[in-house]
Structure 1
Amino acid sequence: MKSKLLEMNNVGIVVENLDKAIGFFTEIGLTLEGRMIVEDEWAGRVTGLGNQSVEIAMMVTPDGHSRLELSKFLTPATISDHRTAPVNSLGYLRIMFRVNNIDELLSRLLKLGAELVGEVINYQNVYRLCYIRGTEGLLIGLAEQLGEQTTKDILENS
């Protein structure tokens, strides 16, 4: 029997300051679902890192369908940093959140130290969009849907 995809379980991001990252994503609207230390031989076998100890925090969206796993490696130490790479870099680009009042949220996030990357734009009267550099320089997209049309509609009509 051929395997089939059931759901996307989560997206993982490695951070330096777990408390600050939890606070930032809580401000966006995610809820802390749980926090724990993951260690033991099985964890290192899954990641290929061998002996490891990682503190994780699982954040969940209001609809309960999407999760963001924030990880702080205690051992081994992190070895590279992609947080400030430009948008056209290979690998992780950004996480995009759909919000209901982009201006109000942007105002709150800027007070927490986030930086607007470009500007807030109106995309075909379907979305207002922007990118910000959030906590630890992570690239975050914010999108406010303006009407009934969705991304799926745009892709199907292009």
Structure 2
Amino acid sequence: MQHSSKPALDKKRMLEWAVFNVAVGNMDSHAKNLSLLATGGHTRLAPFYDLVCTTVYEHLSRRFAFKIGGESRPGWIMGRHWDRLAVELAVKPQLLRTIRLDICLRIERELPKVAGALRAQVTHPEGLAMIDLVAAEIRRCTGQVVARTAWACS
């Protein structure tokens, strides 16, 4: 974040990006999907893209493209890994816990709306089944992050 005009804000956004990708099961979340946007003499983290749930595709990787506190296997990421990441990035572990809970609660709140909007546009049974599969997987991943966040706070 040394090149950002607002490094603290962009560091928080990067943490939100990492949490979101873990919470939706996006194993294809590479750093190459992050970029800086230079406009008007200011440099900021560009809007995020390629935010998808890849765990529903059996032929894709079962490990994240990045590590959380040294761990890339989603089922193995515990509160201590998130805390280690916070220390590595020089942020307070409590801030990262708050970000994890906030992102997961926002996903849980919006997921039914997004799935409903998609279901209203899809007519093929295979497409409807995929929407249900992705929504269930996101609920599972998000629940895992929340459960391990609560454990880390106790």
Q: State the TM-score, normalized to the length of structure 1.
A: 0.28
Query: For the pair shown, which has the larger CA radius of gyration, 1 or 2?
Result: 1
Q: Which has the higher strand share?
A: 1
Q: Which has the higher contact order (CA 8 A, sep 6+)?
A: 2
Larger helix percent: 2
